[in-house]
Structure formats: C-alpha cells, structure tokens
Amino acid sequence: MNRTTWHRTALDRVPGGRDGRRMLLVSIIDKTGTGLWAGCTALYFTYVSGLGLGQVGLLMTVAGGVGIAGAPLAGRLADRFPLVRVIVAAQLMRGLALLALLTTDHFLLLTLYSALGALPDRAGSVLIKLYAARVAGPDRVRYQAIQRTTVNIGWSIGGLGAAAALATGDPRAYTYLLVGNVLTYLAIALLTLRCAEPTAPSRTVATSADAPKERPNSPWRDRTFLAYTATDAALFLDDTILQVAVPLWIVHATSAPVGLAPLLLVLNTVLVVLFQVPLSRFGATTPAARRLLVPLAGLFVLGTLALAASAAGGRTLAVTALVVAVIALTFAEILHATASWELSVALAPAEAQGAYLGVHGLAQSTQRFAGPLLVTGVMAAGPLAWPLLGLALVGAGAAQHRVIRDRVTPATEPSLSVPAVTVSEH
C-alpha cells in the first residue's frame, strides 16, 4: 500500500465523513492558536498591560467565574438555532474579545473583555461535542478519541510556537501571539461555515426496542443527570492535578529537579496521543462506558499514592514516583474522557440534547474554576492528603456508577447509539 492510498484509507476511517474530518481540522487549528496564547496570558497582562500580580489574579478569577455560564447558554442556543451558525458566532466572539485587549490597558475594561471572551471559550467545547455527537452518530466515542488526539497535537504545536516567540526576549512577542490566536479564530470560522448542518437528533428515529425511557426535557429537573454532572465535576479533577498541582508539588514538596515539570507535561501529551484512540473501544457503548468507572477509580488511587510517595525520599524516589503518578493520572484522564463523552450524550434526551450537554459542560468549567483552590489546599495539608483525595475521587466514581445504573441498560440507550435513520428515509 503506497502512502497516498494509506492516507486516504486513514481519512475514510474518521467518523462523520467530510464534515467530521473538517471539524477535526477546525479543532487542531483552534488549539494551536490557544496554545500560542494560553501560556502567556498572565505575562501579557503583566508586561504589556502593566497590571500587578493581584490584579492579574482577580481578572483571571472573574473571567473564569463568568465563563462557567458559557456552557449551558451555548447548549440552549444550539437547541434553538442551526448548530453551525452558533459555533461560528462563538468563534468570532472569542476572536473579537481577544482583539479588544489590544485597545486598552485599563483594568476594568481588560476584565470585561476577558470575561466576554471566556463565555464563548467555555461554550466552544460543548458546541463541538454536540456537533460530533450528531455527525458521528453511533461512532461518536471513536470520533471523540480522535478529536482529543488532534487537540493535544494542536496544543503542542501552539506551545512550541509560543516558546520560540518568547525566547526572542522581544516584548512585542506577546502581542504577536495574541494576534496569531485571533487569526486562528478567523480561519476556523471560515472552515466551519463550509461544514454542513448535521441532522438534529430529534429528527432521528429508532426501532421500538431501542426507544429511550421517558425523561425530563429540562436538565435542571432531571435529578439523575444533575447528580451525574456533579460527580463528573469531581472526576475532571485529574486535569487540575496534572496541570497545576504536579508542577507546584515538584517545587515545594519533592527533591525532583524543577526541569522535570515540563517533561511530565510532555509525557502526558504523548500518552494521550498514543492511547486515546486505541482505548476508546472499551467505552464504545453506554454500559461499557459505565464499567470504565471501576479501573478509573484504581488509577486515581495509584496516582495519588504515588504523589504522596514522591515527597518521602531523595531525588530518585521523587522522580520515579512522579513519573508513576503522571502515567496513572494520564490513563485516568483517557478513561474518564471516553466514559464522560459517551455517558453525557447517552443520558440526554434527543429533543433537548444541547441543553443537557450545556449543563454537563458546567462540570468541567466548575472544576477549572474551583480545582486549583482545592489542589493547593491538598498540597498545603501535606503528603497524606493525596491518598485522602484519591479516596474521595473513588467515592465520586462509585456514586456516579450507582446513580446512572437505571439509565445505561442496552434497552434504554438513546437513538444516537444505533445507526441513524432519518424520517425522510421512510
């Protein structure tokens, strides 16, 4: 098989056809731009806008808090308007809000623009998830795994670009990186406009054997879904542990060299790229996704125990334990991403899927907002607090496993879990 044939075969395996592949390109360009800007956001406000440390912290906290509302708002809009148009509007709003930062150094205006940008930023992941669920249908778990892989590649490209730009020592580099991110928003908006509007799940029918049980059309009245979302917020904590806690723990509690921190982040990215797609087959159905909560609990225990052990001895023990912790928590991230993707879609009724996924988006947004405070509190309490956190995460997983048990049987999977048959075909 020559290279061209292999390339075409690989593309054909991507669920969702041409539009699915195009949205993957949107994701990789989007995250490349985010990678350019995310790592130097605080530095821009410090060195270009001239804000103090306290002001930067307050600005980012306020923006993060406002951004929490982006996910449910996006879900509601996606149920009422064409999804592609909502995605494009969010992308353009992100770009305009970021571009507005160049117009002022005033703290209140910078906070306002950052908050306005945080709304569509948090909405973006929900909207792309909803598009993927509709365009990929029963292959949604595999599509999500491929999408997460492209996201990590994009982050890596953007991060390397940002590092190269900042290495020049030119203060104008911060502005160039901001503008570069704005240009990526324009590019992905143009690409998204070329995507066809996917068939809404409410226009999809299933056989009577696959029909879901009656459930509320509002996620705010669905106690099972709200309980699922609350427990999922806790399980998303692996992200904050890897991105925030591990670097700080290395510096403040272990004998490991500081240079290990970026290497561990690279290890995390490489493992996700290598294993996200292969492991997605273990969560390809809703009951299988629920079963992933069991090994997920074991990985959380192993990861937190290793973090505690990293503070118990010299450099060799610290480095070894940290590597084990990052590997365990990365595989926890992979399994949780697979399970969360499938379960959040499967628990949502077709006619209100956007609203449900929007509420589920609160899980990750809330964790991003409150997670750093929680893990820094754990670190302040000392090494023994890590296993306690691990046990708390096991409890969250067990609670989730129990609370959704009546909604994940094969006979109650939503219509998207079977091959889509549109009404017009009958």
User: Cα–Cα distance between 132 and 148 in angstroms, integer?
Assistant: 12
Banded model confidence at residue 12, pLDDT cuts 50, 70, 90: low
Average pLDDT, the chain: 84
Report the predicted TM-score, pTM, of the whole model to 2 decimal places: 0.75
Residues 6+ apart with CB under 8 A from 38: 158
Residue 239's SS3 state is: helix
Check if the beta carbon of residue 115 is closer than 8 Å to that of residue 67. Answer: yes
Residue 120: per-residue pLDDT: 92
Residue 153 scores a pLDDT above 90: no
Burial 204-220 (b: 16+ CB within 10 A, else e): bbbeeeeebeebeeebe
Q: Which two tokens stand for residue 376?
A: 């820094």
| Cβ atoms 205, 29 nearer than 8 A | no
d(CA 115, CA 379): 29
What's residue 425's pLDDT? 32
Task: Return the residue matching tokens 């290395």.
Answer: 250
Average pLDDT over residues 371-381: 87
Could you give the percent of the chain with pLDDT greater than 90? 36
- AA identity, residue 278: P
Contact 92, 185 (CB under 8 A): yes
> Is the pLDDT assigned to residue 190 strictly greater than 80?
yes
Q: What distance in Å separates the CA atoms of residue 134 and residue 414, rounded to the nearest whole number? A: 12
pLDDT of 292: 95
pLDDT at 239: 86
Distances (CA, A) of 148 to 273, 314, 334: 8, 36, 9
**Picking from 7-16, 183-192, 314-323, 343-352, which range would have the lowest pLDDT averaged per residue?**
7-16
**Stretch 112-127: mean pLDDT, rounded?**
89
Residue 396: per-residue pLDDT:
96
- Residue-level pLDDT at 236: 92
- Give the contacts of 306 (CB within 8 A, at least 6 positions apart): 321, 322, 324, 325, 328
> What pLDDT digit, counting tens, does each position of 232-249 carry?
999 999 988 988 888 888
Please give the C-alpha separations between residue 219 and each of 25, 130, 227, in angstroms, as whole numbers.
31, 15, 11
- The C-alpha torsion from 382 through 367 and 32 to 143, rounded to 10°, is 120
- Non-local (6+) Cβ contacts of 274 within 8 A are none
Which pLDDT band holds residue 263 (cuts at 50, 70, 90)? confident
Is the pLDDT at 415 greater than 60, yes or no? no
Give mean pLDDT, residues 102-127. Answer: 91
pLDDT confidence bin for 201, thresholds 50/70/90: low
Give the position of tokens 């240079």: 259
Tokens of 76: 């509601």
Name the band, by pLDDT with cuts 50, 70 and 90, for residue 416.
Answer: very low
Give the contacts of 345 (CB within 8 A, at least 6 positions apart): 129, 133, 140, 353, 357, 414, 416
Helix-helix angle 353-381:246-253, to 10 degrees: 0
Q: Are 248 and 376 in contact (CB under 8 A)?
A: yes
For residue 346, what are the CA distances in angstroms to 285, 343, 363? 9, 5, 16
pLDDT band for position 212 (cuts 50, 70, 90): very low
Q: How confident is the model at residue 290 (pLDDT cuts 50, 70, 90)?
A: very high
Q: What are the backbone angles phi and psi of residue 198, rounded to the nearest 5°?
A: -75, 155
Do 285 and 410 touch, CB atoms closer than 8 A? yes
Closest to 396 (Cα-Cα) out of 327, 328, 326, 336: 336
- 227 in Cβ contact with 398 (< 8 Å): no
Q: Which tens digit of pLDDT belongs to each residue from 51-71?
A: 887 888 788 888 888 888 888
Higher pLDDT, 86 or 353: 86
Tokens encoding 149: 């892989």
Please tell me the predicted confidence (pLDDT) of residue 4.
47
| Residue 289: both structure tokens together | 């996704």
pLDDT digits (tens, 9 = 90+) for 296-315: 999 999 999 999 999 998 89
Which pLDDT does position 209 carry in this prediction?
Answer: 37
Strands (E), 183-282: 204-205
Q: 287 pLDDT band (50/70/90 cuts)? A: very high
Q: Binning pLDDT at 50, 70 and 90, where does residue 210 land? A: very low
Which region among 144-153, 279-288, 316-325, 383-392 has the lowest average model confidence (pLDDT)? 144-153
When pLDDT is averaged across residues 62-86 and rounded to a whole number, the result is 88
